[in-house]
């Protein structure tokens, strides 16, 4: 069945197949308050999905996501897909994808880690496990498996 839950957009980004209830966190990552006030943002929560049962969807006009934001979304919502819309058509569609190393997206939870001292050292993790995702700090080796506040 054709999905008509949200108004079509001419140009922008669709983040679909977001795990149920995670769209508000995705909006926080995108930083909707910083967006151009002429861009419509539509959000659907708890939409029936063939693939993942229930899902959320976010559609943002006139915006493309930075790689850093895509990484943050991938940690939070690994089932999400990102589609680029140009002139009402899907120009590109890809699953979010975690690179082997993730820098500057979330802080290390170890307060003694060098990335939490008064040093200009950006946090950096390597992927220790993929399903479910576990990250390891490249400086202090602390493992992280809670991604509720990326880019906070
Ligand atoms: N003009 C548009 N405006 C807003 N959203 C769009 C537009 N065209 C496509 N989409 C959305 O972009 C995503 C990808 O589009 P596509 O037509 O490939 O969806 P689909 O056939 O439902 O595929 P799937 O759900 O398997 O990714 C879907 O979420 C769709 O709703
Ligand atoms: Mg679909
Ligand atoms: Zn660390």
Question: Using 50, 70 and 90 to split pLDDT, how confident is the model at 4?
Answer: low
Measured from the CB, is residue 82 less than 6 Å from ligand 1?
Answer: no
Query: Separation of 113 CA from ligand 3 center, angstroms?
Result: 4
> Same domain for 40 and 55?
yes
**79 and 114 belong to one structural domain:** no
17 in Cβ contact with 55 (< 8 Å): yes
Please state the domain count of the chain. 2
Q: Is 88 in the pocket of ligand 1 (CB under 6 A)?
A: yes
Classify residue 128: in a domain, yes or no: yes
C-alpha 142 to ligand 1 mean position (Å)? 39
For residue 123, give the CATH number of its domain.
2.30.30.20
What are the tens digits of pLDDT across the range 104-150? 999 999 999 999 999 899 999 999 999 889 999 999 999 999 887 76
CA 101 / ligand 3 centre spacing (Å): 14
The pLDDT of residue 38: 81
The answer to whether residues 118 and 83 belong to one domain is: no
pLDDT at 147: 86
Q: 95 CB under 6 A from ligand 1?
A: no
Asked whether 3 lines ligand 1 (CB < 6 A), one says yes
Same domain, 24 and 87: yes
Domain encompassing residue 30: 12-95
Write down the pLDDT at residue 2.
57
Q: Any idea what DSSP says for residue 104?
A: S
Same structural domain, 30 and 59 = yes
Residue owning the nearest CA to atom 29 of ligand 1: 16
What is the average pLDDT value for the chain, to the nearest integer?
A: 91
Judged against a pLDDT cut of 90, whether residue 34 lies above it is answered with no
Give residue 108 CA to ligand 3 midpoint distance, Å: 5
> Has residue 36 got a pLDDT over 80?
no
Averaged pLDDT, 31-49: 88
The DSSP 8-state label assigned to residue 97 in this structure reads -
pLDDT digits (tens, 9 = 90+) for 59-106: 999 999 999 999 999 999 999 999 999 999 999 999 998 999 999 999
DSSP 82: E
Q: Are residues 17 and 82 located together in one domain of the fold?
A: yes
Residues 6 or more apart in contact with residue 46 via CB below 8 angstroms: 20, 21, 54, 56
CA of 130 to the centre of ligand 1 (A): 26
Q: Is 87 found in the same domain as 18?
A: yes
For residue 54, the model assigns a pLDDT of 95
Q: Is 8 in the pocket of ligand 1 (CB under 6 A)?
A: yes
pTM tops 0.85: yes
User: Per the structure block, which two tokens stand in for 52?
Assistant: 């993942």
Q: Indicate whether 6 belongs to any domain.
A: no
CATH of the domain at 41: 3.30.70.140
Q: Is 69 a member of any domain?
A: yes
The predicted pLDDT at position 13 comes to 96
Residue 24 scores a pLDDT above 70: yes
- 2, part of any domain: no
> Does the structure show a pLDDT above 70 at 3?
no
Q: Answer yes or no: do 22 and 58 share one domain.
A: yes
């Amino acid at each position: 069945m054709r999905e008509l839950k949200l108004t079509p957009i001419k140009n922008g980004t669709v983040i679909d197949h977001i795990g149920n209830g995670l769209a508000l966190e995705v909006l926080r990552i995108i930083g909707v308050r910083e967006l151009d006030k002429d861009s419509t943002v539509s959000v659907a929560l708890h939409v029936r999905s063939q693939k993942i049962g229930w899902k959320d969807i976010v559609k943002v006009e006139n915006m493309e996501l930075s790689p850093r934001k895509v990484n943050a979304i991938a940690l939070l919502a690994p089932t999400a897909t990102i589609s680029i819309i140009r002139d009402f058509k899907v120009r590109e569609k890809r699953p979010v994808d975690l690179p082997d190393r993730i820098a500057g997206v979330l802080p290390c939870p170890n307060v003694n880690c060098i990335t939490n001292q008064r040093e200009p050292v950006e946090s950096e993790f390597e992927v220790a496990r993929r399903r479910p995702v576990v990250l390891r700090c490249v400086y202090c080796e602390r493992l992280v498996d809670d991604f509720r506040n990326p880019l906070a």
